[in-house]
Chains A and B, each alone.
Chain A
Amino acid sequence: MKRYPSKRSVIVASLVASAVAMAIPTQPQMGAFHHVHVHALHGAVAAMAPAAIEPVEQRADTRPDAAQQPNPASKPTPRARDAGRQKLAPAKPPARPNKDAGKPKAKDAGKPKASSGSANAGQTKPNAASGTAPTTPKPSPPTVPGEQSNDQPAGPESWGYTRKTAKLRIRVIDGRTKEPIQGAEVVLIETEQRFKTDAQGYTPWFDAPVIRNPKYRPMVAELHGQLGAIAYKDGYRDSIHLGIRVHEGIRQQTTIWMYKLGPADRRIEPVLYQEPYHHLWLIQLADKFRSHSQPGEGPERP
């Protein structure tokens, strides 16, 4: 009587076992999803992506020196950088989180650098705390994707991203009926440019200056410029539209609402609409001057 299984039966059994093992799905949830894209994205990580993913502006970069950049392995990955920062960052928000708010990266693209003396003049600093220390040896400053050069748009032009200048167009509508007004004259106050609206109520696209209020510059620079425009149209009240938000590098539009003159209108004066500041900037502004003794609503937190 054989006390042990034969060699053949051992081989057969092991083959069957390995086939069974291979048939077990490693990701059991996969069967639950029927959509192909979900299938592809499943397990796509709750973690961060490798540094190899290039941002849009780098992909668009076709300059020869772009190909000569150091390989991703040699420069610190976002994950590694963040790990370092994470150690430094306290659990609660930093005391002065807006230290470098005066230099928003996206806005810096279009304006001349005042402090261009440093070697890294072409790049904004990722963090004021680390960037201000010239003693920190950085033999090869990492090319942070967000720090684009001046002539690179932040995104595809088909999406409305442009180079350097801000493109603006203004739409004029009837404030009551919300119908476009054709033939209205729009004057940009800052440049004294004049435009006529077309059948859709739009002026043509034009280059608009990005003017930030210099009185805020030493504290928290405005994150967008502001412009003013006046719309004139026979039979309508004049409409003054102030505070039109303008960002470098994108196409923008705004709407001026005009109100028809009626027989009951005795005192006819212009209508003013003041576009508010973006509330993200207002949050920064309020945080900037918050004291510990009177914290008010407290610092920005989740």
Chain B
Amino acid sequence: MTRLQRTVSIVCASSALAALAPLIPAPQVKAAQTIYNTSMPAVIRVAIRENNPSGEPDPRGRIMYVEAVPFTTYCEDVLPNEWFPSWHPEALKAGAMAVKMFAWYHHLHPVTIDGFTFDVDNTTNFQHFQEMSSQPTTNAAFQAIQKLAYTKPNGEIVELNYSAGYENDPNWQYRNAQKMAQWGSEYWARRGQTYLQILQFYYQNRALMRLP
């Protein structure tokens, strides 16, 4: 093969590759979102949905507006509406951690619905948020876990999901589903478990981290 032929073949090959380039997916560098490369959100965008006729935010209601709420305030105004403020302090701490990590995860994964871009809404689609509903006991639980996060062992932020569960029951089926049972957290707390043990019971392969 002469030098000319070689040059021509190289040019042809490179042009063919260049033509194919748009078809080949570009390599994406996706780093996991961890507590080391993201900071705890300062503000979270909350979509306020229309109330139903009885005055409750309707999970299927129209989105009226999106409100920017300080992250801590948001968490404090969610916890009393999700957990009972009279529950055991350890159950409240477990709940505070779940509420916080759920909100943090969704802050990193915003959605756009009906032209509104937001992180969470104020209904049980995400977490039940009611403005100015914080209570002293639930606020204290937040203070206790403020500098901590419950993530994958490499620090990756994952959604800590939870659901009501059954009263006076360990709620093993929720553990199988990797969800915390709210009644289950109270059950274990009343039996002397700490919030970390409750979290470890319901969420496996997770670690408690101190925020950098």
Mark A residues whose CB is within 8 Å of B: 29, 35, 37-38, 41-42, 44-46, 48-49, 51, 53-56, 58, 78, 82, 85-86, 89, 91-94, 97-98, 100-101, 104-107, 126-128, 144-147, 154-156, 158-161, 171, 173, 223-224, 247-255, 273-274, 276, 278-280, 283-284, 300-302
Contact = CB atoms under 8 A, between A and B. Distances in A.
A99 to B, nearest CB: 9
A106 B169 CA distance: 15
Given A276-B56, A280-B183, A250 B86 contact: yes
Contact of A279 (B81, B134, B172, B188): B81
Interface size range on B against A: 35 or more
A53 B187 CA distance: 15
Interface of B: 54-56, 81, 84-90, 124, 128, 132-137, 140-141, 153, 163-170, 172-174, 176-177, 179, 181-183, 186-194, 196-197, 200-201, 204, 207-210
A49 B192 contact: yes
Given A37-B210, A302-B173, A98 B166 contact: yes
B135 A154 contact: no
B85 to A, nearest CB: 6
6 tightest Cβ-Cβ pairs between the two chains A and B: A146-B190, A160-B136, A247-B86, A302-B177, A159-B140, A155-B89
A51 B168 contact: no
B55 A302 contact: no
A250 B135 contact: yes
B128 A145 contact: no
Given A86-B172, A283-B164, 16 more contacts: A38-B208, A38-B210, A44-B200, A55-B192, A78-B192, A85-B170, A107-B86, A146-B187, A155-B89, A247-B84, A248-B86, A250-B135, A251-B135, A253-B134, A253-B136, A274-B54
25 contacts: A41-B208, A42-B207, A48-B193, A51-B192, A78-B193, A86-B170, A93-B166, A93-B173, A94-B169, A105-B190, A106-B86, A106-B88, A128-B168, A158-B140, A159-B141, A160-B135, A160-B140, A250-B135, A250-B137, A252-B136, A254-B133, A255-B132, A274-B55, A280-B182, A302-B179
